[in-house]
Structure 1
Amino acid sequence: MADSAEVTTPSQTVGPFYALPDGLLWPDGPEVVPAGAPGAVVVRGTVLDGNGDPVPDAVIEIWHADERGRFSHPADPRGEPASFQGFGRCGTDPEGGFWFRTVKPGPLPTPDGRTEAPHLNVTVLARGMLNRLITRAYFPDEAAANEADPVLSEVSPQRRGTLVAVAEPDGVRFDIRLQGDAETVFFEL
C-alpha cells in the first residue's frame, strides 16, 4: 500500500449539504455606496442553474473602479485613491436573486493604451462548484465603448449578450446562467 502522503483523492463537488458559512455575508455587503449617493445605480440579477432553476445559495461578489475609472488600491498608478471601496458581496435569496447598490464605473486604461468599457467584475460561488466563476457585467448604454473593449471584443458576437446587462429604471439587470445554451461567459484568470 502506498504511503498516505502519496495517495491522490479524486475531486468532488461540495455535495448536497452545502451551506453558506457563518460570517461570509454581512448586512451591508450589497451596499457598495449608501442609499442616495450621487450616481448610485442598483444592479439586480438572478443566478440560474443548467435547468433554468434559481440557485438559492450562491454568493455573488462584485469589484470595480469608481466613476473616474480608479481603483481603491495602492498599486493603482493614476494618483489619488478611488472615492469608494469598490467591493460588494451578496448571497442569493430563495428565488436566486441578488442585488447591489453601487456607482457605474468609469472606463479603464489598459497597459497597451487601449480602453476597457465600464464594467463590473463578478465572482460566483455556488453549490456543486469547487472553484469560483469569474465574469464581467457591461453596461447597456455604452454600445461604442463595449464594441471597442479589448476583452469583450474577444468573445464571439453570439455570446457577448450574456455579458451585457439590461437597463432598468434605477439601474441594470444582470442574470447569471451557470450552464446551458444561454450560459454566461466565464473567464479563466
Structure 2
Amino acid sequence: MIDTGKNGEFRYAQTTIVDQNDAEFGITPSQTVGPYVHIGLTLEGAENVVEPGTEGAIELTVSAVDGNGDPISDAMFELWQAGPDGVHNSDLDPYRIKPATVEGFRGLGRAMANPAGEATFITLVPGAFEDEAPHFKIGLFARGILERLYTRAYLPGTDLSNDPVLQAVPAERRELLIAKKTDAGFRFDIVVQAESNETPFFGL
C-alpha cells in the first residue's frame, strides 16, 4: 500500500505471500484505485501537443488540488483540443479534410503532475469549433478517482455568450471554467471535492 504523505504505520500488515494460490480465501481489505494509473502511460514528450519552438506555441499549465487546498501530486492530465483553425486532428472531425494544418500538431497531450500538483503542456491556442468558443478539453485521473473527470478551460477575453456547453453551467459557476492568462500562455486550476469552488465537471 502506498499512502501519499505517509508518516505512520500501514493500516494493514504487509504479507509475505508471493503466489496468489497461497493466499487464504476471504474478503480483502478495501482500498482506492491506484496509484497504478501511471504505469505504462508515462511517455517522454507526451505533454508536447506541438514540439517546443513551433511557431505560435504556448504553455498551458494545469493544476489540481483537493477540497483542503492540498495538491493532488499523483494526478494525470489529458488534453484534447482543436487547432488554431478550429479543426481537431482526428478523422472523427467531419471538418478535417487533411492532416493538421500546423505540422506536428497532435491535438492530444498527456502530462503527470509534479509534487505541487501541476503539469505544463506545450500547445497552440485553439480556435472556435462550430458554435463552441475556443477551449481546451481536460481529463483528470488520480488515486481514488474511479472514472476520469472531464472539464473544460475556456480562454479569457473571448466571446463565451453563445457557447452551448458553458451555457449549461449555472451562471455563477462559469467563471471557474475560464483559464487565466500568463506571460507564457494560460493557467487553469482544478479544484476537486470543494463545497463552494469545485471545478464544474461534465458527464460524457
- Alignment TM class, shorter chain as reference: 0.7 to 0.9
Which residue does 1:102 correspond to in 2?
123
Q: Give the superposed CA RMSD.
A: 1.7
Which residue does 2:184 correspond to in 1?
170
Which residue does 1:50 correspond to in 2?
67
Question: Within 5 A, what are the aligned runs for 1:14-93?
Answer: 14=32, 18-78=35-95, 79-83=97-101, 84-93=105-114
Question: Within 5 A, what are the aligned runs for 1:111-150?
Answer: 115-142=131-158, 144=159, 146-150=160-164
Q: Distance in 1 between matches of 2:135 and 2:156?
A: 10
**8 A Cα contact 1:71 1:81, kept in partner:** no
Q: Distance in 2 between matches of 1:141 and 1:23?
A: 38
Give secondary structure in 2 for the equivalent of 1:135.
strand
Q: 1:82 offset after TM fit, Å?
A: 2.2
Question: Within 5 A, what are the aligned runs for 1:7-18?
Answer: 14=32, 18=35
Going from structure 1 to structure 2, the CA distance change for 1:37 and 1:131 (only over 3 Å counts) comes to: same
Instruction: Count residues with an aligned counterpart.
Output: 171
Please list the CA deviations of residues 48-84 of structure 1 after superposition, one character each: whole Å capped at 9, or x if unmatched.
0111100000100001111101111123222223232
Please list the CA deviations of residues 112-162 of structure 1 after superposition, one character each: whole Å capped at 9, or x if unmatched.
xxx1000011000011111100000100021x2x12211111211111111
Structure 2 segments unaligned to the other structure (5+ residues): 1-26
**8 A Cα contact 2:37 2:142, kept in partner:** no
Q: 1:172 offset after TM fit, Å?
A: 0.6
Give the ranges of 4+ consecutive aligned residues of structure 1 lying more than 4 Å apart after TM superposition: none
2:166 pairs with 143, 152, 162, which one? 152
Task: Give aligned-pair identity as a percent.
Answer: 40
Structure 1 segments unaligned to the other structure (5+ residues): 1-8, 110-114
Q: Distance in 1 between matches of 2:146 and 2:31?
A: 6
Q: TM-score, normalised by structure 1?
A: 0.85
Give secondary structure in 2 for the equivalent of 1:43.
strand
**8 A Cα contact 2:38 2:76, kept in partner:** no
Which residue does 2:13 correspond to in 1?
none
Please list the CA deviations of residues 10-38 of structure 1 after superposition, one character each: whole Å capped at 9, or x if unmatched.
xx7625x6244432111101111111211
Q: TM-score, normalised by structure 2?
A: 0.79
